[in-house]
Chain A
Amino acid sequence: MITKKVNNVQDAINGIESGMTIMFGGFGLCGIPENTIAALVNTSISDLTCISNNAGVDDFGLGLLLQKKQIKKMISSYVGENAEFERQMLSGELEVELTPQGTLAERCRAAQAGIPAFFTPAGYGTEVAEGKEAREFNGKMHIMEEAFKADFAIVKAWKGDEAGNLIFKGTARNFNACMAGAGKITIAEVEELVPVGSLDPNQIHVPGIMVQRIFQGEKFEKRIEQRTVRAKN
């Protein structure tokens, strides 16, 4: 067994430098690598290009890195929940590339799968298609999108083992499973790091080969963005 375990989040983020491109798993605040983000906030690393479906909220998730002006550019599909983001974007401090959500996911998956580019119908005929090769397949127009190139991919899983095998819970799988292995180095923070052999190989969502560093997060707040409930009657 090749172990991927690192002792703590500090060891996990070793080698992350200013100016790098980093993928962050999660959808909204669901399944974000909150311990790694917190550790990055405590560094002087800046000028990051972040690939993440969303940009967190003002006081949680990637919003924390935005508050400290550590992010130079965001590549996302939806960024509407963050006032500081809006301020930096409108003032020109922050560069933003908006990309359709399915295209974002597939550009991660393509990187993970060693595919340099692919064609998708999403965005054809819109400003997203500007400057991109368009081609017809089966009577329908598609545009070419390229795989992401990231220095690090940072994902969060429910359970993992020292071999780097990951299991997600619920919709927290989202972009985490697509990003694992999509960066040169993948860091996985897990709620529970279990002994090798205790996870059923049939139930693994991401095999350990995709993960280079794994650690158990110290604490998970798991904040809910839109708490929506119905009354018990």
Chain B
Amino acid sequence: MLTKEDIAKRIAKEVKDRYFVNLGIGIPTLVANYVREDIAVEFQSENGVLGMGPFPFEGEEDADIINAGKQTITTLPGASFFDSAFSFGMIRSQKVDLTILGAMEVSENGDIANWKIPGKMVKGMGGAMDLVASAENIIVAMMHVNKAGESKILKRCTLPLTGVGCVKKVVTELAVLEVTGKGFKLLERAPGVSVEHIIASTEADLIIEGEIPEMLI
């Protein structure tokens, strides 16, 4: 089974040369740490910055330079700032190549639920609905099952949706799944995890063709 860092490492392999990437809060944020250094990638944060760098050194943090998680950040050479309407403009017009975000549930037709649990305090969707409705390539990073041990990979989402038919790939501590027109296709399994274990942990049906390779982390 993968750790959260391992999930981030695996997703980092999906980040290609010359990609503009938006990272959500949680595991997705860790992806930036594992992107190959020999490729050119720029990170966008939807509050209004492109070309995000690492966190600042202690004492160098600037209240005016934060990411969408409200964390203090730095910028890299070539970075730019813009207003939030412009920022979502570049998201809607698909200038951002890849969006990586967390989820509570994903369904076999690519629906995603990640903002609201009925009966619990609703914090809001932030930019998630805009991102999932617009991005061409959306990868979800999440745990395969919830704290109660129930599958988060479903035939149909049970929670209020964030977006419909938008997720392309899901990476969990157990598996890499692709959302196809016919449902989830099992692409890779985590080291030491059997296909049977994945099937048993997944409520949705899985398309399994041939030998399923282990993930390379």
Contacts and interface: CB of A to CB of B under 8 A. Distances in A.
Interface of A: 27-31, 53, 76-80, 86, 89-90, 98, 100-106, 108-109, 120-128, 158, 168-178, 205, 222-232
- Chain B CB within 10 Å, residue with most, of A76, A102, A178: A102
Contacts of A31: 64
Given A101-B126, A174-B47, A30 B57 contact: no
B61 A229 contact: yes
Contact of B129 (A28, A53, A128, A225): A128
A71 to B, nearest CB: 16
Contacts of B56: 228-230
B203 to A, nearest CB: 21
Contacts of A104: 84
B134 A122 contact: yes
B115 to A, nearest CB: 9
Contacts of A174: 47-48, 83-84
Contact of B84 (A27, A29, A79, A205): A27
Contact of A172 (B64, B111, B161, B165): B64
Interface residues of B, number: 53
Contact of B130 (A28, A101, A228, A231): A101
Contacts of A101: 46, 84, 88, 125-127, 130
B79 to A, nearest CB: 10
A28 B70 contact: yes
| Interface pairs A-B: 8 shortest CB-CB | A102-B88, A80-B123, A102-B130, A125-B164, A177-B83, A170-B64, A78-B124, A100-B129
B75 to A, nearest CB: 8
B201 interface: no
B62 interface: yes
B148 interface: no
A126 B125 CA distance: 11
B81 A77 contact: no
Contacts, number: 182
Contact of B70 (A103, A122, A173, A225): A225
Nearest to A109: B85
Interface of B: 45-49, 54-73, 81-85, 87-88, 91-92, 111, 121-130, 133-134, 160-165
15 contacts: A27-B48, A76-B124, A100-B125, A102-B88, A105-B85, A106-B85, A121-B92, A123-B133, A125-B111, A170-B49, A170-B62, A171-B64, A222-B63, A227-B72, A228-B73
Contacts of A225: 66, 70
B65 A226 contact: no
A3 to B, nearest CB: 25
A44 to B, nearest CB: 29
Contacts of B82: 173
A29 B70 CA distance: 8
B62 A120 contact: no
B217 to A, nearest CB: 23
A80 B124 contact: yes
Contacts of B49: 170-171
Nearest to A103: B130
A225 to B, nearest CB: 4
A121 B125 CA distance: 15
Nearest to A233: B57
Contacts of B67: 171
Contacts of A89: 121
B91 A102 contact: yes
Nearest to B133: A121
A212 to B, nearest CB: 20
A178 B85 contact: yes
B106 to A, nearest CB: 14
Nearest to B112: A126
A98 B124 CA distance: 6
B83 A176 contact: yes
A33 B63 CA distance: 14
Nearest to A27: B47
